[in-house]
Amino acid sequence: KHQRQLVDGSIESTSSLDWPQHHPTNDNTFTPIPIDIMADEFDLHICCMGAGYVGGPTMAVIAAKCPKVRVCVVDLSQKQIDAWNSPDLPIYEPGLPEVVAQCLGKNLFFSTDIDAEIKKADIVFISVNTPTKTMGIGAGRAANVKNCELCARKIAEVSESDKIVVEKSTVPVRTAQAVRRVLDCNERGLKFQVLSNPEFLAEGTAIPDLMSPDRVLIGGVQTPEGIAAAEKLAGVYANWVPREQILTTNLWSSELSKLVANAFLAQRVSSINSISALCEATGANVSEVSRCVGMDDRIGKRFLNSSIGFGGSCFQKDILNLVYLCETYGLQECADYWNQVILMNNYQKKRFSEKMVSSMFNTVTGKKIAILGFAFKKDTGDVRETPSMFVVRDLVMEQAKVHVYDPQVKREDMWVEMNYTCNLSEETHPGVEAAVTTSTSAYDACDGAHALAVLTEWDEFKELDYQKIYQKMAKPAFVFDGRNILDHEALRKIGFEVHAIGKPDPNKFSDL
C-alpha cells in the first residue's frame, strides 16, 4: 500500500515528477495553456469517463502539468472512486501515488456525479473498457464498443453546451463515426467535435511514459471546426510535450495507428518466441540469437526477449480486433497473417506447461508447484490475459497443488480473471480454489515444492536465496524460468534441474 505524500507547490522533489514542466515552441499552431499562474479559477474543465488503468493515470498527469486546468475523473463504481480518493489507489503503478497526492482536491477530482461533471466540462474524454466480444457477431475477435456508445449517449443527454469529445479508449477504425452520429442526435442542437487521442502507455512505466511521451497522437475531422478542436486539445499537451512530438492526423489514421502499434509490438514477441522453440530443439541460445539480431539497427534490440508469452489488456484484444477488421473488409490473407501472432502466443504458453509436466516424469498430480509471479509483467498488479493464468490452469487440470506468490496481485483479482478468461471457478470446477494457494512470500510458496516456475519478471525474484530455497524443496528440485531472469548456471551448481525458454538443456546436448 502506498501512503499519500502531500507535495507543496506545483512540481517538487519526487523523482517521478522530475521532468521539464514546459517546452517552449516557435510553432504558433498550438498555444499552451499557461500553468505558471496559480489562481482559484480554471482556464479549462476536463471530464474523463472511466477511472481505470488509462483514465486515472492520464488525468492525474494532465492535472499535475496543468494547474490551471480542472480535471475530474468520473465512474459508475463508487468503490473505484472511493479508492482513488484514498491512500490505497485501485491500481499499482510506480510514481502514481505521488502524482495523485500532489493534485487531489486542488485541480484533480474523482466523482460518481457523472451528469454534473459532463455539464461543466469543455472537453470530455471517453476512457472505458472495450473488451473482446464473447458472443454474437464477431465473438472472440471483434471489440465490444457498447461502453463507448453509452458514454456518447450520456454526453448527448446531459450536455448544455458545445463540447469536444475525445476517444481515449482503443477502438476499431471508424468508431468515431458512430460516436459522432449519437452526439449529433442531441435534442438541444449542440455541436460536438469528436477527436481520437489513443494512449501509448506501458503498464509499469505509465508515469514516465505520460510525463515524457514518445508522441501524442490526435486525430480529427479535417474541417475548420475539427482542426480547431485538435488545436485546443494539443494546447493542453503542449504544456510539457515538444511540438514536434504532437502528431495530428485524420480520425481514421489515429484510430488505426493504436491497433497497428500494439500489433507490431506483439508480433516481435511472437517472432522471438517462435525462435526460442527452435533454439531448444537445436542447442542454440535464444539470448545470443536475440543479441545478434538486435544489433542490426534496422531491427533494433527492444521486444526481443523470449518469454512464456505476452499478456495484458491490449495486445491480444487489439490484434483480434485487427483480424476482425481485416475479415470484415474481405482481407482474409491479412487477417490470417495477424492471427498467427495470437496462435504463436497461445502455443508458447501451452508449450511451457507441457514442458513442466514432461520434465517432472510426465506427472504433477499431487505435487506442490510454486508459481512466482501472476501479473502479466513486473511493476503492475494487472492480471488481464496474464500468461501465468494459463500455466496455473494447465497445472490445476493436471491435479497439481499450486502455490502462487505475487507482490502486487490480490487473490480476488486472480480468480476474477481466471473465471472470466478461462471459465475456471468454484462453480465450474468444484474444489479448484482449494487447489490454488496464494502465499505471502516466495519462500513460503517454495517450501516443500517439487518445482518453482518464474512467470513474472519481478526484480525481487533475482535476489532470492536459492540455496535456502533448494534445501527446503523436494528432490529433484526443478526450476522453470519463463522470463530468463535467473542465473541458470549458479542454480545448477546448487543442485537444481533448470529449464528455461529458448535455452539449451545440458542434459540433452553434449556439444554446447
* Longest CA pairwise span in the chain (Å): 79
Q: Which residues touch 329 (CB under 8 Å, ≥6 apart)?
A: none
To which residue does cell 489514421 refer? 253
How confident is the model over 442-465, as pLDDT tens digits? Answer: 999 999 999 999 999 999 999 999
The 8-class DSSP code of residue 486 comes to S
| Cβ atoms of residues 149 and 178 within 8 Å | yes
How confident is the model over 48-84, as pLDDT tens digits? Answer: 999 999 999 999 999 999 999 999 999 999 999 999 9
Query: Residue 401 and residue 409: Cα distance in Å, rounded?
Result: 19
- At 279, which helix (H) or strand (E)? helix 251-282
Q: Which residues touch 37 (CB under 8 Å, ≥6 apart)?
A: 68
- pLDDT-derived band at 157 (thresholds 50, 70, 90) equals very high
The 8-class DSSP code of residue 34 comes to P
Catalytic residues: 314
How confident is the model over 158-195, as pLDDT tens digits? Answer: 999 999 999 998 888 888 899 999 999 998 999 999 99
Distances (CA, A) of 234 to 81, 166, 461: 28, 12, 42
- pTM of this structure: 0.86
- pLDDT-derived band at 142 (thresholds 50, 70, 90) equals confident
Collapsed DSSP state (helix, strand, coil) of residue 493: helix
- pLDDT-derived band at 13 (thresholds 50, 70, 90) equals very low
* Residue 220 β-bridge partners: 195, 250
Taken as a whole, the chain contains a residue count of 512
**Nearest CA among 501, 10, 14 for reference residue 285:** 501
104-120 mean pLDDT: 97
| Cβ atoms of residues 425 and 393 within 8 Å | no
- Grid coordinates representing 252 are 481514421
Q: What angle do CA 409, 412, 415 make, to 5 degrees?
A: 95
User: Going by DSSP bridges, is the β-strand pair 123-126/216-220 parallel, antiparallel, or unpaired?
Assistant: unpaired
Give percent above pLDDT 90 in the chain. 85
Q: What is the end-to-end Cα distance of the chain in Å, rounded? A: 46
* Residue 438 β-bridge partners: 404
How confident is the model over 334-364, as pLDDT tens digits? Answer: 999 999 999 999 999 999 999 999 999 999 9
- At 328, which helix (H) or strand (E)? helix 315-328
pLDDT at 174: 84
Q: Answer whether residue 24 shows pLDDT above 90.
A: no
